[in-house]
Chains A and B, each alone.
Chain A
Amino acid sequence: MEAEPGTDESIRCAFQSHIDSLNNAPEWWKAFKRDAFESYLKAPVPQKSDENWRFANRKGLDLSHCDFNSDPNDLDTQSLIDKSRLTTSQSGAFAFADNQTILSESASAALLEKGVIWCTLSEAIMNHEDLLKDYFMKQAVDLGSKKYADLHSAFVANGVLLYVPKGVEVDAPFYAYNWAVSKEASVFPHTLVIAEEHSRVHLVETHLSSSDQPSLSCGVTHLFAGVGANVDYTLIQGYNEETLGFQINSNIAGKDSQVDMNSVVLGCKRYRAETHGQIKGPGAHIDMRSLALTDAGQEIDQRTLQTHSAPHATSNILFKNALKEQSKTIFSGLIKVDESAQQTDAYQTNRNLLLDSNAEANSLPGLEIEANDVKCSHGATTSEIQDDEIFYMRARGIPKDAAQELIVYGFFEEILGRIEDESLANYSRKLIQAKFRGESV
């Protein structure tokens, strides 16, 4: 183990006070957390030899300075609530500031009557134990961050549960806003979506900072799409660039279901995101798209896995990164096709656009195929903006910086155009533009 002396002791104390603060919570929940915490302590920090951490700078992973029990006292709740309104049309919303609920907008009476559950995790612990016991943190963490998933389980205090019963179709998206507020705050965003047979639902999750203070975010999102269900999910990660972020996503697609995932990744000094698309039933389809814009000092490390355990299914990955200044991205993707998953179509594409000679884009595509009748491919390209493209745009009077900016927006449009909620797509465009110009939104 490489943990710094003293680190374990301080985090033990932090965990004990976390457990103590849960006095009303049921015993099974506390026991679950204690197990997770022990597992966290036992797990080694990522090792140099670990293939799942290849190219990653492991030095930035020190958590000793994090405050695991931050209690925001001078919280400007109203301004955060005002900022937690990205759309005028939503089915429900929660906003959390340093894990505390600051905004609750419940689902409509009509949806509740149909059996939709839209509640915070703290409510779910009290009222929906059965669902949590079946679905909460039940996915294996296969991409290297088991330790951080355990950290999440140990400290997670809030989040959202969205349950959509059989046949229920919900038009407007649900929103979960997660704010990191205090200095060295540790936030643990959690999102659990269970879409039953032939239901349809759309959820948006934002991860944002309200200040320039450093913080830790360690989030987990699990989406379960039942038979014929349709789940559309967008994650906007726009933390400040002092933040250390871990994000673990699992998209589980049942028979004939469809899961769409869009990620907009802009923030964090160091961000590690693991995304696992799991084809569990024949005819399922999973689309996972991501865009990232990096600038000086950032490292965005994304690992993906597409697992096909059933035949006649498709999955697509499209991850696009544009790198400014001295920044770094890692994309590592693996497609795994079981012997039984015949007639699989699985694709994986990673495109990197280097805007600076000091930028570094790493790409590790991979295939592991045991079935013999499949169509699988992966492609990775890294390129720079062509001089002739810039010349063409400048010949129209567009200054060089603005031309470069426009090319990058164009590069991202392939992802942004797939975000169904137009106000959210525009908000993402605004965030990208602000970051490109070094402005704040």
Chain B
Amino acid sequence: MSASLEIKNLNVSIGDKRIIKDSSLTVPKGEVHAIMGPNGTGKSTLAKALAGHPDYEVTSGDALIDGESILELEVDERSRNGLFLAFQYPMEIPGVSIANFIRAAKNARLPDGEELNAPAFYKELYEKMDMLKIDRKFTSRSVNEGFSGGEKKRCEILQMAMLDPNYAILDETDSGLDIDALKVVSDGVNALRGPGLGALVITHYQRLLEYIVPDRVHVMYDGRIVKSGEKELALELESKGYDWIKEIAGNAA
């Protein structure tokens, strides 16, 4: 089995409402894929369901990391197995500093009784903060508390950089960002690109894909992946608009 994040005929419901319908896609390790689609079409549901949010019920189908199903794993186990979700709306955690938060996440990955080497941790943290142009004073600030939209997203990418996942899902990472913040965040993601990371970038706008150039683009509409293609698909979508997708979806149904 090749290394990949694989979604197979996945169906996801919230309560009685069916959101994701029979969706399949595969993100090989080392590639960046984008999911585009109009608002309310199920993109964020897919992200949260993959991360294991308890409100999202997988009714059928499967999600696999490197060939192993992750559906029976707890949220934190999925993360420790190398899956990372960058949140669209990251939570504030009053009184917990960014440094302590990331440290707790790193400690959770160590065998019982082992503790992180503090100087090495801070060295790595500062290097990655420098890369993401995050002021070092941030380490003592509470996670996301009082952060601007751009700061929150940079903080998500910092966590991703520190946790070094095999697969990352970035949920609307561009939302609420001005162009400068978008560049910083994209630079961060691009810096983490490489043979060891498969990424699924969820976005509403083509704009982000000018900075994070995907290997493949999937278009989602009404809970289904209705079209997949090369990166040019994003441009085509941009020029033809989502009505075009509606048509394709109509023809497919």
Which residues of chain B are within 8 angstroms of A414 by Cβ–Cβ distance?
94-95
Pick from A393, A409, A413 the residue with the most CB of B within 10 Å. A393
| B96 interface residue per 8 A CB criterion | yes
- Whether A393 contacts B93 in the complex (CB less than 8 A), given A399-B76, A406-B100, comes out as yes
A406 B75 Cβ-Cβ under 8 A: no
| B157 interface residue per 8 A CB criterion | no
Q: Which of B11-19, B84-92, B116-124 makes up part of the contact surface?
A: B84-92
The distance in angstroms between the C-alpha atoms of A386 and B94, with both chains bound, is 12
B96 A397 Cβ-Cβ under 8 A: no
**Chain B 61-101 near chain A by CB (<8 Å), digits 1 or 0:** 00000000000001110111000110100110111100011
Question: Would you give the shortest CB distance from B199 to chain A, in whole angstroms?
Answer: 16
Which residues of chain B are within 8 angstroms of A407 by Cβ–Cβ distance?
93, 96
B90 A398 Cβ-Cβ under 8 A: no
The distance in angstroms between the C-alpha atoms of A398 and B75, with both chains bound, is 9
| A412 interface residue per 8 A CB criterion | yes
Q: List 29 A-B contacts (CB under 8 A).
A: A388-B91, A389-B93, A391-B51, A392-B91, A393-B93, A393-B101, A393-B104, A394-B75, A395-B84, A395-B87, A396-B76, A396-B102, A396-B105, A396-B159, A397-B163, A398-B105, A399-B108, A400-B76, A402-B104, A403-B76, A406-B93, A406-B96, A406-B100, A407-B93, A410-B93, A410-B96, A411-B95, A413-B94, A414-B94
Name the contact of B163 in the complex, choosing from A386, A391, A396, A403 (C-beta under 8 A). Answer: A396
The distance in angstroms between the C-alpha atoms of A402 and B112, with both chains bound, is 13
- Whether A409 contacts B95 in the complex (CB less than 8 A), given A397-B109, A398-B108, A399-B76, comes out as yes
Which residues of chain A are within 8 angstroms of B52 by Cβ–Cβ distance?
394-395
Which residues of chain B are within 8 angstroms of A386 by Cβ–Cβ distance?
91
Name the contact of A391 in the complex, choosing from B53, B80, B104, B142 (C-beta under 8 A). Answer: B53
Which residues of chain A are within 8 angstroms of B87 by Cβ–Cβ distance?
392, 395
Q: Which chain B residue shows the least CB distance to A397?
A: B79
Which residues of chain A are within 8 angstroms of B84 by Cβ–Cβ distance?
395
Top 10 A-B pairs, shortest CB-CB distance: A410-B95, A413-B95, A397-B79, A410-B96, A394-B75, A392-B91, A396-B105, A394-B76, A397-B80, A397-B108
Question: Would you give the shortest CB distance from B180 to chain A, in whole angstroms?
Answer: 26
The distance in angstroms between the C-alpha atoms of A410 and B96, with both chains bound, is 5
| B229 interface residue per 8 A CB criterion | no
B96 A398 Cβ-Cβ under 8 A: no
**Chain B 105-116 near chain A by CB (<8 Å), digits 1 or 0:** 100110000000
Q: Which chain A residue shows the least CB distance to B93?
A: A410
Which residues of chain B are within 8 angstroms of A389 by Cβ–Cβ distance?
91, 93
Which residues of chain A are within 8 angstroms of B80 by Cβ–Cβ distance?
397
**Chain A 412-436 near chain B by CB (<8 Å), digits 1 or 0:** 1110000000000000000000000
| B146 interface residue per 8 A CB criterion | no
Q: Which chain A residue shows the least CB distance to B145?
A: A410
Q: Which chain B residue shows the least CB distance to A415?
A: B95
Which residues of chain B are within 8 angstroms of A397 by Cβ–Cβ distance?
76, 79-80, 105, 108-109, 163
| B176 interface residue per 8 A CB criterion | no
Which residues of chain B are within 8 angstroms of A412 by Cβ–Cβ distance?
95
Question: Would you give the shortest CB distance from B168 to chain A, in whole angstroms?
Answer: 11
Question: Would you give the shortest CB distance from A181 to chain B, in whole angstroms?
Answer: 33
Q: Which chain B residue shows the least CB distance to A416?
A: B95
Name the contact of A409 in the complex, choosing from B54, B96, B105 (C-beta under 8 A). Answer: B96
B104 A395 Cβ-Cβ under 8 A: no
Question: Would you give the shortest CB distance from B9 to chain A, in whole angstroms?
Answer: 24
The distance in angstroms between the C-alpha atoms of A400 and B159, with both chains bound, is 18
B85 A395 Cβ-Cβ under 8 A: yes
Question: Would you give the shortest CB distance from A292 to chain B, in whole angstroms?
Answer: 16
Name the contact of A395 in the complex, choosing from B75, B100, B102, B109 (C-beta under 8 A). Answer: B75
- Whether A395 contacts B79 in the complex (CB less than 8 A), given A388-B91, A402-B108, comes out as yes
Name the contact of B76 in the complex, choosing from A398, A406, A410 (C-beta under 8 A). Answer: A398
A396 B91 Cβ-Cβ under 8 A: no
Which residues of chain A are within 8 angstroms of B159 by Cβ–Cβ distance?
396
**Chain A 201-220 near chain B by CB (<8 Å), digits 1 or 0:** 00000000000000000000
Which residues of chain B are within 8 angstroms of A410 by Cβ–Cβ distance?
93-96, 142
Given A391-B53, A396-B104, 18 more pairs with CB closer than 8 A:
A391-B75, A392-B87, A392-B90, A392-B91, A393-B101, A394-B75, A395-B51, A395-B76, A395-B78, A397-B108, A397-B109, A397-B163, A403-B76, A406-B100, A406-B104, A410-B95, A411-B95, A413-B94
List B27-61 residues whose CB lies under 8 Å from chain A. 51-54
A391 B54 Cβ-Cβ under 8 A: yes
B95 A396 Cβ-Cβ under 8 A: no
Q: Which chain B residue shows the least CB distance to A407?
A: B93
Which residues of chain A are within 8 angstroms of B54 by Cβ–Cβ distance?
387, 391
Name the contact of A394 in the complex, choosing from B74, B96, B102, B163 (C-beta under 8 A). Answer: B74
Which residues of chain A are within 8 angstroms of B142 by Cβ–Cβ distance?
410, 413
Which residues of chain A are within 8 angstroms of B109 by Cβ–Cβ distance?
397
Which residues of chain A are within 8 angstroms of B105 by Cβ–Cβ distance?
396-398
List A334-370 residues whose CB lies under 8 Å from chain B. none
The distance in angstroms between the C-alpha atoms of A393 and B79, with both chains bound, is 10
The distance in angstroms between the C-alpha atoms of A395 and B70, with both chains bound, is 13
The distance in angstroms between the C-alpha atoms of A393 and B96, with both chains bound, is 11
The distance in angstroms between the C-alpha atoms of A372 and B173, with both chains bound, is 52
The distance in angstroms between the C-alpha atoms of A399 and B75, with both chains bound, is 8
Q: Which chain A residue shows the least CB distance to B87?
A: A392
Pick from B76, B80, B159 the residue with the most CB of A within 10 Å. B76
**Chain A 251-294 near chain B by CB (<8 Å), digits 1 or 0:** 00000000000000000000000000000000000000000000
The distance in angstroms between the C-alpha atoms of A402 and B96, with both chains bound, is 13
Which residues of chain B are within 8 angstroms of A411 by Cβ–Cβ distance?
94-95
The distance in angstroms between the C-alpha atoms of A160 and B85, with both chains bound, is 56
The distance in angstroms between the C-alpha atoms of A394 and B94, with both chains bound, is 16
**Chain B 143-166 near chain A by CB (<8 Å), digits 1 or 0:** 000000000000000010001000
- Whether A394 contacts B79 in the complex (CB less than 8 A), given A402-B104, A406-B104, comes out as yes
Q: Which chain B residue shows the least CB distance to A399?
A: B76
Question: Would you give the shortest CB distance from A311 to chain B, in whole angstroms?
Answer: 34
The distance in angstroms between the C-alpha atoms of A215 and B94, with both chains bound, is 37
Q: Which chain B residue shows the least CB distance to A400?
A: B76
Pick from A387, A388, A391 the residue with the most CB of B within 10 Å. A391
Q: Which chain B residue shows the least CB distance to A412?
A: B95
